[in-house]
Structure 1
Amino acid sequence: MNGTNIKWDDLQFFLAVARSGGLSPAARATGSSPATLGRRMRTLEHDMGRELFIRHDRGYELTTEGRTLLSELTDVEARIVRLTAKTDDATRPLVKISAGTWTALLLLNSLDTLTGTPADIRLRFVSAEEVLDISRREVVIGFRNRRPSDERLAGRKLSRVEFAPYARADAPRKWIKVLADTPSARWLDKTIGKDAVCEVTSPRNCLDLALAGRGLALLPTFIGDAQPELERAGATIPELTHDQWLVTHQDDRHLPHVRRTLDRLADVLAGQYHHVKRDSAV
């Protein structure tokens, strides 16, 4: 390795390619062309005397030496960020989190805890029922209902999630049906068919209707038990019980701002679940 030939710009380009998994997304992030980035990566490999990438049709995959370099540069980058950090919002690192309606609702109640005091990260919640692609960096952190099977992803197991029917004491015992591609919505469709007091396309609307006393809502217990106006109108549904996992990319999980966010998310959820179970009357 001839260290005198290595340019810091090339190392920054390496970080962009390594984190995005390919030349095209890295080009969009850096403003350079894919051809330029490809040429710079070959030059960097030559100057370092290391093979950093496995190139294939799906993109650029890091070799063992590439992952080592990424880890080393991430530490250097973090130190540089701390030394040059300002306090304005634009300089705080952005962390994109995908979460379903109910998890996002729970987390937004603890926003100050998640962003830090004083705030040291910016959060963008992508509230979506569909699974977004963490390996392609559509989001940085995602909540999943099973352990990640992709070797590029790392997961942290959280609490079990259970579902039960909820309603106000004076509400009719007729279901509010959610039309969505989720396990709970599919279970409800299979169970009641068209026999519903109302159909909604947003899961949050079923909670609103239940709070208004219009019928039964199928809710995760960490949401339903936290509503003082609602009571459980039946037992939990075993078919819908699942583990919750906090998932991120292997190459991102040691970044300081990502690590802080992961730890805060886990702490907030552990505290909320404990609070719900402790205060639940059922």
Structure 2
Amino acid sequence: MKQTPSLDSYALFIAVADSGGLAGAARATGVSVPTLSRKMADLESILGQHLFARGPRGYALTAAGRALLDEAEGLRDIASRLTAFSQSDKPMQVRVTAGQWTSQFLARHITKIWSPDAEWVPAFIASNARVDIARREADIGIRNKRPDQSWLAGRKTMTIDYAAFALSPDATGYITLTESTATTPSERWLRQNHSDEIITTANNARLALDLALAGVGRVILPTFASSTYPALQQVGPPIKEIRHEEWLVCHHDARHDPPIRQALDAFHTLLSDRSLRPEAAL
């Protein structure tokens, strides 16, 4: 099988071509002149092409050398971006995925556990669909049950209750998501137990809430989410069938990364705070 030059060899080739000789390339790259000479000879041998016309005035590109330089132009931008990445002192972005109401809670209270001078910065992915942590689509997930995959670590926060909320107890009928978007246990419970009382639907949870705030009907919410909307009243007891534990989950390998570990600890503190998410009213 034919040997393939390394990207490092191509990067050094660009340096020699730009400098017109080994001495200038050595100053630009920090690689010694003898090493550069050997690397360029190896590159020519692997490619089977004479890339330089060597002379007293330096290394002039041959036709093959000019053609290779044209092909290698894209490496300049890559090298520049990789250098910027290696020298960056920006905090690590930690991607957190959670459902609509939990994401909203975290965003509203984030400054209680995070500041701009931290070693990490939160990036939220609000989605009721499960985001794949195994494929690193997110770093931290907030789930409604203990993880059963061997590659996921879990840490319980608290138990989450749900209830019906409306502008007043006189509001009748329910508002829920359309059948195609009804993916959460609360939405499925409503359709299974009160399908004949659904008066209208919306294609996202926030819009369903706005309809409830307008007095159209009742909406099922996590009880902690209602505290943001004082106009809403709890109009029924907690629904025991959809009560669930809440878990912070993370890939076993990622949880040892200091910024992710700090984020896990911070989110656990926030999500476990009963002063911010009090017990449901019976």
TM-score, normalising length: structure 2 = 0.64
Query: What is the count of residue pairs matched by the alignment?
Result: 195
Q: Deviation of residue 131 (structure 1)?
A: 1.1
Larger Rg: 2
Q: Deviation of residue 192 (structure 1)?
A: 2.1
After superposition, what is the alpha-carbon deviation per residue over 1:169-214, rounded to whole angstroms, capped at 9, x for unaligned?
A: 2762211122311111111111222532210121122222222222
2:262 to 251, 260, 271: 260
State the match for 1:129 in structure 2. 128
After superposition, what is the alpha-carbon deviation per residue over 1:103-140, rounded to whole angstroms, capped at 9, x for unaligned?
A: 00111102323442534322221111111111121110
State the match for 2:16 in structure 1. none
Q: Aligned ranges for residues 190-229 of structure 1 at < 5 Å?
A: 190-229=192-231
Q: Aligned ranges for residues 166-177 of structure 1 at < 5 Å?
A: 166-169=165-168, 172-177=171-176
Matched, 1:100 2:99: yes
TM-score, normalising length: structure 1 = 0.64
Q: Aligned ranges for residues 1-282 of structure 1 at < 5 Å?
A: 86=89, 91-169=90-168, 172-179=171-178, 180-271=182-273, 273-277=274-278
Q: C-alpha separation between the residues in 2 aligned to 1:160 and 1:133?
A: 23
5+ residue gaps in structure 2? Answer: 1-7, 9-86
State the match for 1:38 in structure 2. none
Amino-acid identity (%): 35
Q: C-alpha separation between the residues in 2 aligned to 1:276 and 1:95?
A: 23
Verify the 8 A CA contact 1:112 1:119 in the aligned structure 2.
Answer: no
Secondary structure, aligned partner of 1:223:
helix
User: Using a 3 Å threshold, how does the CA distance of structure 1 residues 94 and 275 change in structure 2: closer, same or farther?
Assistant: closer
Q: C-alpha separation between the residues in 2 aligned to 1:175 and 1:203?
A: 13
The one-letter code sitting in structure 1 at the alignment partner of 2:119 is D
Verify the 8 A CA contact 1:222 1:276 in the aligned structure 2.
Answer: yes
Secondary structure, aligned partner of 1:176:
strand
After superposition, what is the alpha-carbon deviation per residue over 1:20-62, rounded to whole angstroms, capped at 9, x for unaligned?
A: xxxxxxxxxxxxxxxxxxxxxxxxxxxxxxxxxxxxxxxxxxx
The one-letter code sitting in structure 1 at the alignment partner of 2:199 is V
